[in-house]
Chain A
Amino acid sequence: MSALRTYIRSYMVRIIIIIGILSGLISFYFVSPEAVAVATELQTWNSAAAAWTLFVGIITVFARYVRSIMKRTQYWQYRAYGIVLMVVWVIMGAIVGLYSDLYQTAFYSTKITLHIAILGQLVFFFTSGVYRTFRMKTFRTAIYAFFAMLLIIGNAPWMLATFPQVDKLTYWLLENPSMSGERTLALTGGIGGAVLGIRILLGLEKGALRATEAS
């Protein structure tokens, strides 16, 4: 039984990964309704598996929170509140339906409010980081700070009104050195990603796929 389990864990997962990659590639590049059908079917299976793995996340959260509440660790009250909220949302979704006005309004009212709160905080986090990075300690950081300042001026209308000359320079910076850099990253990143895929197909990417190794 143990040998069978080892076999399944070692080989079956690899076979599924290879079939998944090949069906994706074949359906993307070749005119083949059969390959498209296989890829679509696998996508459906992937969605079903993903729905089940959602429970792993929820179980993890519950396990930690319940342990924290029982041991009365620091901030256990917030964790208790979190668990109550999760249960309330699930019950509400089950009763009124996910696409009902009540659920959608409640969800977006909460989510958008929280997003705005975090977006507002980003400014403070960023300013703190920028202060450290843009201190002109070397010639290189001075150049970095100078060009960052130009871009800030170019993106702040009231500063641009004072220094209108910066406008063209800002666009030149974004459209030439910045764009070439971004395209280089996109090209080399694409090649790197493809080679990573080949390494997976060759069974060389052991670090990430160690999950499929028998333990």
Chain B
Amino acid sequence: MPATFYLVEQIVVRGKAFQLIFLLILGILTYVAYSLGKHGKVFVIRPLEGLDATWEGIGRAAEMGRPIMVLTGISGLGEPQTIAGLTVYGEVTQRAVSIGVETHTSNTDTNVIAFSEAIAKSAYDAAGKPEKYMLGEYVRWFGGDQFSYAMGCAGYILEKKPVMIVFMGYFLFDVIVSMESGNRVGSQIIGGTLSALPEMSVFSDYLLIGEELYAASAQISQDRMVIATLAGQDWMKLILVALMIIGVVLILAGNTAIVNLMGW
């Protein structure tokens, strides 16, 4: 056994072998689920209230002739929550543009701003209305700081009076200012994050809790194969639960095998 440990340490960074195995299993399970989806298996996932409300919000915005907003938070492209938020932004923008509703957005990171501009342009092109797209009109930047973002978004919300504001991404205390500003102009607030859940739970009308944010980014595409990847995610969660139960039982029996394995 020590020889195996020595061999593994030559290849994998110490203490990361278990993580790597887990990641590989997750990758395999996701790929299996994706392949099943590709071969016609339909995975049904429960509807997310927040997403349904988003489509209703777009329709209401069209009736009222007012814009909507999708805010992607205060982090860069290295943050998975931002990527999920940008996916939602892209899909929502395309659907909103097709029925004549403007979608505004903002982020603290200039990479994300450049990305959002490209997404907005692409959404207008895909909706068949490239002439309606204006650089700098739908994507704004208020500085790289959390609080300048909060105050900038609050001003933006008060100026545009959006019918609905979707908060999807990484947020901190800034949501207190921006969400409450949204409430004051009567916007419907839909939140989705892993980072500022207690704050969002106070101010949101609909809340996507934790990983529902990632599920939303998959479900919003309405692509069978994308939704299938969520099944792989659920299988992994079952393995984790099983591991936890075994770990608790073993620890109660005085055996630290699972703990040692995790530190491998």
A residues adjacent to B (C-beta < 8 A): 28-31, 49-50, 53-61, 63-64, 111, 114-115, 118-119, 121-122, 125-126, 128-130, 132-133, 184-189, 191-200, 202, 204-208, 210-211, 213, 215
Whether B164 sits at the interface, judged by CB under 8 Å, is no
Q: 4 closest Cβ contacts across the A-B interface? A: A207-B87, A192-B214, A211-B118, A192-B211
Alpha-carbon gap, A211 to B12, bound state (A): 35
Give, as a whole number of angstroms, the nearest-CB distance from A213 to chain B.
6
B residues adjacent to A (C-beta < 8 A): 9-13, 16, 19-20, 23, 26-27, 30-31, 34, 76, 80-81, 83-84, 86-91, 110-111, 113-115, 117-119, 121-123, 125-126, 135-137, 139-142, 145, 147-148, 150-151, 173, 176-177, 179-180, 183, 194, 197, 201-203, 209-211, 213-215, 217-218, 220-221, 223, 225-226, 229-230, 232-233, 236-237, 240
Give which listed residue, A126, A185, A194, contacts B197 with CB less than 8 A: A185
Given A60-B113, A133-B202, A188-B211, list of 19 further CB < 8 A pairs? A28-B13, A29-B13, A30-B11, A31-B10, A49-B111, A60-B140, A63-B136, A118-B177, A128-B183, A191-B233, A192-B211, A193-B214, A198-B30, A199-B229, A205-B217, A208-B87, A208-B115, A211-B118, A211-B119
Q: Are B110 and A53 in contact (CB under 8 A)?
A: yes
Count, A-B residue pairs, CB within 8 A? 186
Alpha-carbon gap, A125 to B203, bound state (A): 10
Q: Are B113 and A29 in contact (CB under 8 A)?
A: no
Give which listed residue, B147, B218, B236, contacts A115 with CB less than 8 A: B147
From known contacts A122-B173, A192-B233, A202-B34, infer whether A31 and B13 are also in contact, taking CB-CB under 8 Å.
yes
Q: Are B203 and A129 in contact (CB under 8 A)?
A: yes
Give which listed residue, A30, A122, A205, A215, contacts B12 with CB less than 8 A: A30
Give, as a whole number of angstroms, the nearest-CB distance from B222 to chain A.
11
Residues of B within 8 A of A192 (CB): 80, 210-211, 213-215, 233
Q: Are B147 and A188 in contact (CB under 8 A)?
A: no
Instruction: Give 29 pairs: A residue, B residue, CB < 8 Å, sorted on A.
Output: A55-B110, A56-B141, A60-B135, A111-B145, A129-B202, A133-B203, A185-B197, A191-B26, A191-B211, A192-B210, A192-B211, A192-B233, A193-B80, A195-B30, A195-B214, A195-B229, A195-B233, A198-B31, A199-B30, A204-B221, A204-B226, A205-B87, A206-B221, A208-B84, A208-B87, A210-B119, A210-B126, A211-B115, A215-B121
Q: Are A194 and B26 in contact (CB under 8 A)?
A: yes
Residues of B within 8 A of A50 (CB): 76, 110-111
Give which listed residue, B26, B89, B201, contacts A195 with CB less than 8 A: B26
Alpha-carbon gap, A28 to B23, bound state (A): 12
Alpha-carbon gap, A28 to B16, bound state (A): 9
Residues of B within 8 A of A189 (CB): 194, 210-211, 214
Alpha-carbon gap, A191 to B23, bound state (A): 9
Alpha-carbon gap, A30 to B13, bound state (A): 5
Give, as a whole number of angstroms, the nearest-CB distance from B96 to chain A.
14
Residues of A within 8 A of B203 (CB): 129, 133
Give which listed residue, B84, B122, B201, B214, contacts A215 with CB less than 8 A: B122
Whose C-beta in chain B lies nearest to the C-beta of A124?
Answer: B180
Residue among B114, B115, B135, B215 facing the most chain A CB atoms (10 A cut-off): B114
Q: Are A196 and B83 in contact (CB under 8 A)?
A: yes
Residues of A within 8 A of B118 (CB): 211
Give, as a whole number of angstroms, the nearest-CB distance from B225 to chain A.
6
Q: Are B136 and A64 in contact (CB under 8 A)?
A: yes
Alpha-carbon gap, A131 to B233, bound state (A): 38
Give, as a whole number of angstroms, the nearest-CB distance from A191 to chain B.
5
